[in-house]
Amino acid sequence: MRERQCPVCLVEMKPQVHLGITIDVCPTCAGIWFDKDELLHITQLDPEALPQLDEMYRPVVHSYDPPWEKLCPVCHNTRLRQYNYLYTSNIELDECPECGGIWVENSELAKMPQVLKDVRAMDVPPEAEAQITLAQMEAESQQERGRLEFLTGLFRFLSTRFRFPFED
Ligand SMILES: [Zn+2]
Ligand SMILES: [Zn+2]
């Protein structure tokens, strides 16, 4: 059984299949839960998928910062940890340090392709490289390494698909 609660609204999320990947969508706030690597896979399969998902769920807008700690819908008692998408963007996502799932709030989804484009247009921002190096040094735990793999995977994907000159 797949019963997953929205970390914000505490209502049950609805599983939705996109490009063969099952994601969980909150019917109230339209936040989306991606299991580990699902966000990356969807971006790889179709770069336009994120704005499409946003478009699809936008009518449901009831987003707010809950007064409680956001907990992982999969691991239940694990607190989600906030981080910045691609390290340098101002998009804040929440990640579960336990299972590597990612919580994306409604409006954040639409901003992500633009960030990807900006990153491409800038070539490699030196601070991105610096931050990745820094993250590499900080990546002591398994979870940190998992997140790093996600990010380097995404950068590698960008470099092949869009000739993004990123060396690892
Ligand atoms: Zn919700
Ligand atoms: Zn989790």
User: Which pLDDT tens digit goes with each residue over 42-53?
Assistant: 888 887 787 778
pLDDT at 162: 41
Asked if the structure places residue 75 within a domain, the reply is yes
| Two structure tokens written together for 156 | 């590698």
Q: What are phi and psi for residue 120, nearest 5 degrees?
A: -65, -45
| Residue matched to tokens 């002591």 | 140
Which string of b and e fits 25-53 if b means at least 16 CB within 10 Å?
bbebbbbbbbbbbbbbbbbeeebebbeeb
pLDDT band at 161 (very low <50, low <70, confident <90, very high): very low
3-state secondary structure (DSSP) of residue 82 = strand
Asked if the structure places residue 79 within a domain, the reply is yes
**99 C-alpha to center of ligand 2: Å?**
4
Asked if the structure places residue 2 within a domain, the reply is no
Neighbouring residues of the ion ligand 2, judged by CB less than 5 Å: 72, 74-75, 78, 96, 98-99
| Two structure tokens written together for 131 | 């931050």
- Rounded to whole angstroms, the Cα distance separating 42 from 76 reads 24
Alpha-carbon separation of residue 146 from 21, 22, 68, 113 (angstroms): 20, 20, 26, 22
pLDDT band at 164 (very low <50, low <70, confident <90, very high): very low
Q: What are phi and psi for residue 123, nearest 5 degrees?
A: 55, -145
Asked if the structure places residue 6 within a domain, the reply is no
Is the pLDDT at 82 greater than 70, yes or no? yes
Is the pLDDT at 165 greater than 50, yes or no? no
Quickly count: other Cβ atoms within 10 Å of residue 141's Cβ. Answer: 10
pLDDT at 75: 94
Asked if the structure places residue 18 within a domain, the reply is yes
Asked if the structure places residue 9 within a domain, the reply is no
Higher-confidence residue: 167 or 32? Answer: 32
What total of structural domains would you count in the chain?
A: 1
| Residue matched to tokens 């797949």 | 2
Asked if the structure places residue 143 within a domain, the reply is yes
pLDDT at 1: 53
Supply the range of the domain harboring residue 40: 14-161
- Rounded to whole angstroms, the Cα distance separating 8 from 18 reads 22
| Two structure tokens written together for 97 | 């340090």
pLDDT at 99: 94
Asked if the structure places residue 131 within a domain, the reply is yes
**131 C-alpha to center of ligand 2: Å?**
25
**76 C-alpha to center of ligand 2: Å?**
7
**126 C-alpha to center of ligand 2: Å?**
32
